[in-house]
């Protein structure tokens, strides 16, 4: 088994033995590679000072460029990939890269601490051919970069102007050849690190993954690491044994049959939400408000479900849509409704050696009314105080089926049975919705914490249900 990690850094092949399996990419860049342009601001994926550009092969063998947070990515996860830092954009004494020149010309840097991160987010857009982006695209791509000096306007101006500078094409074909060569090595000899008593295994096939998880039931599964990374950098947690899902191409697949959308365990948040939004456009605002672009470029949708946080954003909607999870242990698989996976706070119906292989979301039924809303203090990059999701069908004006689920209201994301009962079989009107709003007080006794008080949460949950009713019926706003 291979004990070294191979990746391209600013176009040059690196073969390194990490100091530990949880050494971060940022630590490697600054402390080993001597590339200190990439900064550490928060070490928890929030500020974007550590943003670098990653290139990886998608399951079809095409190169995909993504901005990622180096501070919470573990170095071994770069195996088979390429990254660029701000130092890789233009050689000493050479002209600045168009992205950098646009930043200079638009006075988009003051103290400069955030600037390399912004430049790399823009460089990622540039590599993806987004050279003349509209403002919304820029805001989405910069959602993970904070600046305390400029007020953002000049940075946005620079982003929108970068296409006016001479075209610099990344040699995508060469990058593809390089990554394919690394992938071939990984297939012949998967990465299996053992450093200072810590292990990191990176299987390539789903069968090998299942075998490893069953044989090492105490090992921790690592998907995108956007939850696990923080446990290392903020809580100083020590992981003895990590099994990485990010190189299992079979699980990086979104598929559709006549009635189901299946999303595999390695599918990143952006790709998973893109497929979900194609079926349920109502989920778009949830997608765009989920963390930030670099987090959605590293984290997985199934990881969000598996993490099972009571304030995770995907579970309420997925529960409302009747999503099922596929659990695998060795060669055995079982399926259960997502709401049944969550038993209690951080307790799941999952046995040792078992993992989530995929989630299955029913395709849209005709006339299904769907809504989901996230409430948090900031638009981007914030955790929900309350997240509500609703799925209703009507027979005439009578509620034929109803599923309501909330996050942030209990120890797990879960349904609201009393509110559902208040609506089922009733006309979908202001009076039944008022009864359902009142019933939410039976369903939930939310906590008070730093994000919101119990009273706020309950009232907000009630008002979100009312909003869903108004938006889906077009009913005139009446006081209830």
Ligand X SMILES: Cc1cc2nc3c(=O)[nH]c(=O)nc-3n(C[C@H](O)[C@H](O)[C@H](O)COP(=O)(O)OP(=O)(O)OC[C@H]3O[C@@H](n4cnc5c(N)ncnc54)[C@H](O)[C@@H]3O)c2cc1C
Q: Is 298 helix (H, G, I), strand (E, B) or coil?
A: helix
Among 287, 355, 444, 468, binds ligand X (CB under 6 A): 355
158 contacts ligand FES (rule: CB under 6 A)? no
194 contacts ligand FES (rule: CB under 6 A)? no
Among 10, 19, 36, 113, binds ligand FES (CB under 6 A): 113
Strand pairing partners for 405?
A: 389, 415
Quote the DSSP letter at residue 476: P
**Residue 433 CA: distances (Å) to CA of 226, 470, 475:** 38, 10, 12
Task: Please report how close the Cβ of residue 322 comes to ligand FES at its closest, in angstroms.
Answer: 35
147 contacts ligand FES (rule: CB under 6 A)? yes
Angle, helices 98-105/153-161, rounded to nearest 10 degrees: 140
307 contacts ligand X (rule: CB under 6 A)? yes
Using CB under 6 A as the binding rule, the residues of this chain from 433 to 472 that contact ligand FES are none
Among 29, 70, 291, 458, binds ligand X (CB under 6 A): 291
Q: Is 24 left (phi over 0), alpha (psi -120 to 50) or beta?
A: beta
Tokens representing 45 are: 């994926």
Backbone angles phi and psi of 325, in degrees to 5: -105, 140
Q: Is 466 left (phi over 0), alpha (psi -120 to 50) or beta?
A: alpha
265 contacts ligand X (rule: CB under 6 A)? yes
> Considering only 28-36, 44-52, 90-98, 183-191, which stretch makes contact with ligand X by CB under 6 A?
44-52
Q: Cα separation of 96 and 84, whole Å?
A: 15
| Closest to ligand FES by CB, 121 or 462 | 121
**Angle at the Cα of 298 from the Cα atoms of 320 and 279, rounded to 5 degrees:** 35
Tokens representing 37 are: 């342009």
Q: Which does 149 bind (CB under 5 to 8 A by kind): ligand FES, ligand X, none?
A: ligand FES
Task: Please report how close the Cβ of residue 407 comes to ligand X at its closest, in angstroms.
Answer: 8
Q: What is the DSSP string of 138-175?
A: HHHHTTT---SSS-SHHHHHHHHHGGGSPP----HHHH
| Closest to ligand FES by CB, 46 or 354 | 46
42 contacts ligand FES (rule: CB under 6 A)? yes
Tokens representing 273 are: 């939400």
Q: Which does 420 bind (CB under 5 to 8 A by kind): ligand X, ligand FES, none?
A: none
270 contacts ligand FES (rule: CB under 6 A)? no
> Considering only 20-28, 126-134, 296-304, 461-469, which stretch makes contact with ligand X by CB under 6 A?
296-304
Could you list the residues that contact ligand X (CB under 6 A)?
Answer: 44-46, 220-228, 230, 245, 265, 269, 290-291, 295, 299-300, 302-304, 306-307, 312-313, 355-356, 381, 383
Could you list the residues that contact ligand FES (CB under 6 A)?
Answer: 40-43, 45-50, 69, 71, 109-115, 147-150
């Amino acid at each position: 088994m291979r004990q070294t990690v191979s990746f391209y850094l600013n176009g040059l092949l690196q073969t390194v033995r990490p100091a530990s399996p949880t050494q971060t990419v940022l630590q490697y860049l600054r402390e080993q590679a001597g590339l200190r342009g990439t900064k550490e601001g928060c070490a928890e994926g929030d500020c974007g000072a550590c943003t670098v550009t990653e290139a990886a092969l998608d399951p079809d063998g095409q190169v995909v460029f993504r901005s990622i947070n180096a501070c919470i990515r573990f170095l071994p996860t770069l195996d088979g990939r390429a990254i660029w830092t701000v130092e890789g954009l233009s050689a000493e004494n050479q002209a600045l890269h168009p992205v950098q020149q646009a930043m200079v010309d638009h006075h988009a840097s003051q103290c400069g601490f955030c600037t390399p991160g912004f430049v790399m987010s823009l460089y990622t857009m540039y590599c993806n051919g987004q050279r003349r982006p509209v403002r919304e695209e820029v805001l989405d791509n910069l959602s993970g970069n904070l600046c305390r000096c400029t007020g953002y306007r000049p940075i946005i101006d620079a982003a929108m102007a970068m296409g006016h500078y001479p075209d610099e094409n990344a040699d995508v074909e060469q990058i593809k050849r390089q990554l394919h060569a690394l992938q071939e090595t990984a297939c012949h000899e998967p990465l299996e690190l053992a450093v200072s008593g810590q292990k990191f295994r990176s299987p390539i096939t789903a069968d090998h993954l299942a075998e490893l998880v069953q044989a090492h039931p105490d090992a921790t599964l690592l998907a995108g690491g956007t939850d696990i990374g923080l446990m290392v950098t903020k809580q100083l947690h020590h992981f003895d044994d990590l099994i990485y899902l990010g190189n299992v191409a079979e699980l990086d697949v979104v598929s559709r049959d006549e009635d189901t959308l299946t999303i595999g365990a390695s599918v990143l948040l952006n790709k998973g939400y893109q497929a979900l939004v194609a079926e349920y456009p109502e989920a778009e605002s949830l997608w765009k408000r989920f963390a930030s672009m670099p987090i959605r470029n590293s984290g997985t949708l199934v990881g969000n479900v598996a993490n099972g946080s009571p304030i995770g954003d995907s579970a309420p909607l997925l529960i409302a849509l009747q999503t099922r999870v596929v659990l695998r242990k060795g060669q055995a698989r079982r399926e259960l409704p997502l709401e049944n996976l969550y038993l209690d706070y951080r307790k799941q119906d999952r046995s040792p050696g078992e993992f989530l292989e995929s989630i299955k979301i029913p395709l849209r039924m005709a006339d299904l009314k769907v809504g989901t809303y996230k409430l948090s203090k900031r638009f981007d990059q914030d955790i929900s105080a309350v997240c509500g999701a609703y799925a209703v069908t009507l027979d005439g004006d009578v509620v034929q089926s109803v599923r309501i689920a909330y996050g942030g209201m209990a120890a797990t994301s879960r349904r609201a049975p009393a509110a559902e009962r208040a609506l089922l079989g009733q006309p979908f009107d202001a009076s039944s919705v008022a009864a359902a709003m009142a019933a939410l007080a039976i369903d939930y006794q939310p906590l008070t914490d730093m994000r919101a008080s119990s009273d706020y949460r309950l009232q907000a949950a009630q008002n979100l249900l009312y909003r869903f009713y108004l938006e889906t019926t077009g009913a005139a706003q009446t006081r209830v």
